[in-house]
Amino acid sequence: MSCRVLEEVFGVIEQRKREMPEGSYVAMLMRSGEEKILRKLNEELLEVVLACGRSRRELVHESADLLFHLLVLLSYRGIELEEVCAELERRRR
């Protein structure tokens, strides 16, 4: 199963990083720097852990937030989504 939406979201993140439009959450994170992105990623990870004790819906919601912020970090560091996918593919063999 392919998760094409991750590619699409990553593309939007990359576009926002290039254009840095006013009012963009991604642009704000990029301007704030890696420390802010890491703090947000840590916050989202904690929310995933806490959601495990709650509903399935909350876990799905918080997992999407975590993935989104991980994609922001990858973009900030200049790592392509394809690199992560290739690593997962390599591990699958």
- C-alpha of 28 from chain center: 14
Residue 37 within a domain: yes
The CATH number of the domain where 47 resides is what?
Answer: 1.10.287.1080
Quick check: is 82 in a domain?
A: yes
Ordered DSSP codes for 32-64: H-HHHHHHHHHHHHHHHHHHTTS-HHHHHHHHH
26 domain-assigned: yes
Domain annotation covers residue 93: no
pLDDT at residue 2 greater than cutoff 70: no
Task: Tell me whether residue 19 is in a domain.
Answer: yes
Q: 71 Cβ partners below 8 Å, 6+ apart?
A: 6, 9, 10, 13, 81
Query: pTM for the whole thing?
Result: 0.94
Domain that holds residue 59: 4-88
pLDDT 10s digits, 13-62 = 999 999 999 999 999 999 999 999 999 999 999 999 999 999 999 999 99
Number of domains composing the chain:
1
